[in-house]
Amino acid sequence: MANSFIDSTLLDKAICFAVRAHHNTERRGKGFPYIVHPMEAVAIVATITSDQELLAAAALHDVVEDTEITLTQIREEFGERIARLVEAESDKAVEGRSESASWRERKQSAIDRLAEAPYDAKIVAMGDKLSNMRAIARDYDALGDALWERFHAPGGRADHEWHYRGLAQSLNDLAGTNAFTEFVGHIEHVFGRPRPEWIDINDYEVSGDGYTATSYNHKDGKRMMKLYADYMPISEPERELQMSWAIMDLGIKIPKAYRMVTDGKHVGVEFERIAGKRSFARAISQEPENLEKYTALFAEECKKLHATRCNPAVFSSAKDHFRNVVAASRDLDGAQKARVTAFIDSVPDVGTCLHGDMHIGNMIMAGDHVWWIDLADFRYGDPRFDLGMLYFVCICNDSDELAQRLFHLSHTQMVRVWNVFVHNYYGPGVDPEAVLRDIAPFGSLYMIHFANRESMLPHWPEHIEKTLLR
């Protein structure tokens, strides 16, 4: 069968131009012609877009940086957009760059420019950076830490780790593409899992206080961070960062996750700051007359989440999580653990996405847009595990003081949220009492979960007895 026709005139011209520009030059230390690298960059960009101008820019991305070709020539031959994209990839074209600047200063300047670059320029950059990172990963596997002796960076491995993690942050707009996932994977393969980066807490202002973490906004207005309480293990923010990247790959709308951070005492995760955002809990507290409107929207987003297939090779099972919770319980004896575990085993195996901490405080809005937040417990399984969390915070918590502290609402308002949610999630013909009976055991699982962290509240054992142990 003949291949379909596609007009590749522009890309063909760019490839021929790049071949001539890089003629008889070697990819440094590789032993093969330089043109192999821009061709690999083209192939990577083609996994993200079929835009011929972006593919052409990928082919040409090094001709100004590494040959005698000028931006003026590129502009005359290929037009303004391609010239702009090539310029974004060229340090040579940066005005005011000091030749005496340190290696880190020059790389930081490039990272900062890439962070502010348009989306199309980031796609072209992804082709270049992933090609470079593939080469580093291959050479690292062959040479180990002796690899860093080949480069000019004065700090060796540490400088390169800092550089490539910075590039990953700058390219985070491409999270969800196979190229970005591969890029981050190579970084972790070579440098290991990310470690917390020190921040100056004075650059941030407290913006919210939760059960296990405090939120801060950076004074630059573009970033925020969530610092976990000092009793929380470092595995929690580490898992939240990794989960955030994996969740973005699923196409689920969340704020971009950048890096792990520490103020020296607490560890957390830094995220994109959504200007003007409010949690659904905050929105309802400020506009109680719109409780039904906001809860209905929250229910629709939950249905979308629960209609999304998860990757069990990446995410863990809710059933496995709660089996471990029960096994670790200090409040249940052996026979009780066996009965609760039997209930968990009876839940159907389902491969849909679960938030893991699903409630109205963990979805934010700004204008007509919504995002899920606080994703460290993201898993897959029966949606009733998620509904159990909402039941737990809305129905099982009868303390106005705690409801106000965590959700800015009264217990009565939280019960209304539950009732409106059930109507919209299940449909108008639902029997609310039947839903309560169905979800109550899952709410009890969260009681056992939270009791493992602190202690049982007085009314929890009775609820667990009625829903799981009879």
The one-digit pLDDT tens for each residue of the chain (470 residues) are 567 888 889 999 999 999 999 998 888 767 789 999 999 999 999 999 999 999 999 999 999 988 899 999 999 999 999 999 999 887 654 444 445 567 778 888 888 888 889 999 999 999 999 999 999 999 999 989 888 888 877 778 888 888 898 898 788 788 778 899 899 889 989 988 777 888 899 999 998 877 788 999 999 888 889 999 988 888 888 878 877 877 887 878 888 887 889 999 999 999 888 888 899 999 999 999 999 999 999 999 999 999 999 988 778 999 999 999 999 999 999 999 999 999 999 999 999 999 999 999 999 999 889 999 888 889 999 999 999 999 999 998 777 787 788 888 888 999 999 999 999 999 988 999 999 999 999 999 999 998 887 777 888 889 999 999 87
Q: Are 461 and 444 in contact (CB under 8 A)?
A: no
Two tokens, residue 167? 């590039």
**CATH class (in words) of the domain with range 9-191:** mainly alpha
Question: Which regions of the chain carry the CATH code 3.30.200.20?
Answer: 198-272
Q: What pLDDT is attached to residue 2?
A: 64
Q: Are 334 and 397 in contact (CB under 8 A)?
A: no
Q: What pLDDT is attached to residue 282?
A: 93
Two tokens, residue 2? 């003949």
> Nearest Cα to 158, choosing from 113, 191, 136?
191
How far is C-alpha 96 from the chain's CA centre? 35
Beta bridge partners, 364, equal 279, 371
Domain 198-272: give its CATH superfamily: Phosphorylase Kinase; domain 1 (3.30.200.20)
Two tokens, residue 286? 């400020």
Q: What pLDDT is attached to residue 92?
A: 59
Q: What are phi and psi of 447, to 5 degrees?
A: -60, -45
CA distance 61 to 22: 11
CA distance 187 to 91: 23
Q: What are the residues whose beta carbons fall under 8 Å from the beta carbon of 376, sequence distance 6 or more?
A: 236, 237, 239, 240, 243, 356, 357
Total Cβ atoms within 10 A of residue 119: 9
Q: What pLDDT is attached to residue 201?
A: 92
CA distance 387 to 377: 14
Q: Tell me the chain's radius of gyration from C-alpha atoms.
A: 26
Question: Which regions of the chain carry the CATH code 3.90.1200?
Answer: 284-468
Two tokens, residue 432? 């609310």
Total Cβ atoms within 10 A of residue 6: 9
Two tokens, residue 8? 């590749």
| Residue at 218: amino acid letter | H
> Nearest Cα to 268, choosing from 219, 319, 310, 217?
217
Q: What pLDDT is attached to residue 448?
A: 93
Two tokens, residue 217? 């906004």
Length of the chain: 470
What does CATH list as the number for 284-468?
A: 3.90.1200
Burial class (CB in 10 A: 0-12, 13-18, 19+), 378: buried
Two tokens, residue 42? 């083209």
